[in-house]
Amino acid sequence: MSRDLNSILSSLSGTGHRGGTFMTEVLADLLRILPERPRITLETGCGKSTIIFSNIAEKHYVFAYDDRHLEDSSVLMVHKCSDFNNEATTFVYGPTQHTLSNYKFPEGEYFDIVLLDGPHGYPFPDYEYALLYQRLREGSILIIDDIHIPSIGNMFDTLRVDRMYNEIGVYASTGVLRRTGARGVPSDGDHWYEQQYNVAQFPRPMEKYHPDRRFESGKVISLSAPNMLGRYGRRGLEKTPGEECVQTTDLSSTLGFTPRDSQLKFVTIDLEYKTIYKAAARDALVNVGETSHLLIEHNEFETRRFRFPLQQEKEILLTLLHPNASPEHDLGIKRYEFRRLGTKIKSIIVHLSEEVLGPLAKESVLQSTFRHFNKLRV
């Protein structure tokens, strides 16, 4: 590594922007393994790596969202950096889901280095790779950032054992691969059986896709009991740390129950729950099929009864909706900023009947919903 690059790395230490940033130590590790003078490089996303690539490549493409109007802009951070080489860099602004597929690269142009660090939601990292991998030739370097995100890690796991690549290493949460001379899976066919990831993993066990979600009508289902969440939870739920309950972790969280008799007409659900945050209770709903009821705020665990007409389907999907649930931040050891906490659930009782069951205790949740809306009107 040259003294100039060392100086640039030193000056970038501690620099940040809204999209997150490479650790300087990781950039230093990458520079030790990358070609000293790559001709053409490309990255999705923008940040410290852009400044480094602009200094080592003859030509560098940056496909990035234009965030110059936002606070802590990653694009402005790059452009304002005195070490940034603008002359070597071509910016293509916009969502890479659109810009990469529409951009006309010169015929026969290959990349010596490609860094995938654009949109992280599935399937967009995979889509970026699908658009770019045929422009990698033998010896080209593929860098995949944020492989600690499960969907991106799955892509890296698939490629690291493929004959098209040799794994160079993993640096923090950044995986690095080198393109071999081996022919990959043809782009105009199927050939999944030629990929080592599939060969090594085949066949995938199917038990987890067919959990036994049958239940006994009228019997308490304690979701904190062993295997109960795995049995009935469909999405957006996890065990609550240190408590005998589960909590929603998404704007939409669903449990599934398979009735033994699909001819019955009504389902009544006794839900023992409490609200995590007051704001998350606003406009919160509990839903089965096409019917929804207001999920009234409760600061302590209480049981409320919800009645729904039963659809003629194999599974009852009970969904809790929290459109106003905000991300939960830093609970000490684990980062929770991607979880949206709304409700804690201790137990559920599912009743199936030909007629609607009577209200729980003195008041049905439907009556309390009407009362809630009357208060809002006053």
What are the residues whose beta carbons fall under 8 Å from the beta carbon of 304, sequence distance 6 or more? 270, 271, 273, 296, 298, 360, 365, 368
In this prediction, residues 13-28 reach a mean pLDDT of 77
pLDDT at 317: 96
Per-residue model confidence as pLDDT tens digits over 134-153: 999 999 999 999 999 999 99
The pLDDT tens digits of the residues spanning 61-86 come to 999 999 999 998 999 999 999 999 99
Which one has a higher pLDDT value, 189 or 365? 189
For the segment 84-97, the average pLDDT, to the nearest whole number, is 97
pLDDT for the residue numbered 370: 44
pLDDT at 313: 74
CATH topology of domain 3-201: Rossmann fold (3.40.50)
| Fold annotation for 209-356 | Jelly Rolls (2.60.120)
The pTM for the full model equals 0.86
CB atoms within 10 A of CB 5: 17
Question: What Å distances lie between residue 313 and 45, 126, 234, CA to CA?
Answer: 44, 34, 16
pLDDT of residue 360: 59
169 or 11, which is more confident? 169
pLDDT of residue 19: 58
What pLDDT does residue 354 have? Answer: 80
In DSSP notation, 28-94 reads HHHHHHS-SS-SEEEEES-SHHHHHHHHH-SEEEEEE---TTSTT-HHHHHHH-TT--GGGEEEEES
Give yes or no for residue 366 having a pLDDT over 50: no
- Say if CB 318 and CB 288 are below 8 A apart: yes
Q: What is the DSSP string of 302-341?
A: EEEEEEEEPPSSSSEEEEEE-TTPPBP---SSS--TT-B-
Q: Which of 77-91, 246-260, 301-315 has the lowest average pLDDT? A: 301-315
How many residues are recorded in the chain? Answer: 378
- Can you give the pLDDT at residue 186? 87
Q: How far is CA 179 from the centre of its chain?
A: 27
Q: Cα 231 to the chain's mean position, in Å?
A: 22
Check residue 94 and give left, alpha or beta (phi > 0: left; psi -120 to 50: alpha).
left
Give the residue-averaged pLDDT of 92-110. Answer: 97
CA atoms of 272 and 223, how far apart (whole Å): 10
pLDDT above 50: residue 378 = no
> Model confidence at 262, in pLDDT bands (50, 70, 90)?
low
CB 3 within 8 A of CB 24: no
Buried b (16+ CB within 10 A) or exposed e, 111-148: bbbbbbbbbbeeebbebbbebbbeebeeebbbbbbbbe
Instruction: Check residues 336 and 50 and name the one with the higher pLDDT.
Output: 50
Q: What is the largest CA-CA distance in the chain?
A: 80
Residue range(s) occupied by CATH 2.60.120.260 in the chain: 209-356
pLDDT for the residue 371: 42
Of 212, 214, 249, 204, the closest CA to residue 345 belongs to 249
pLDDT tens for each residue of 326-344: 888 755 556 667 899 999 9
Average pLDDT, the chain: 90
Which pLDDT value is given to residue 3? 47
The dihedral region occupied by 45, where left means phi > 0, alpha psi between -120 and 50, and beta the remainder, is left
d(Cα 219, Cα 312) in Å, to the nearest integer? 22
pLDDT for residue 369: 44
Say if residue 182's pLDDT is above 90: yes
Q: Residue 164 in 3-state DSSP?
A: coil
Predicted confidence band at 42 (pLDDT cuts at 50, 70, 90)? very high
CA 216 to the chain's CA centroid: 34
pLDDT at position 328 is: 83
Rounded to an integer, what distance in angstroms lies between the CA atom of residue 136 and that of residue 111?
6
User: Which ranges in the chain are annotated with CATH 3.40.50.150?
Assistant: 3-201
Q: Does 260 have pLDDT greater than 90?
A: no
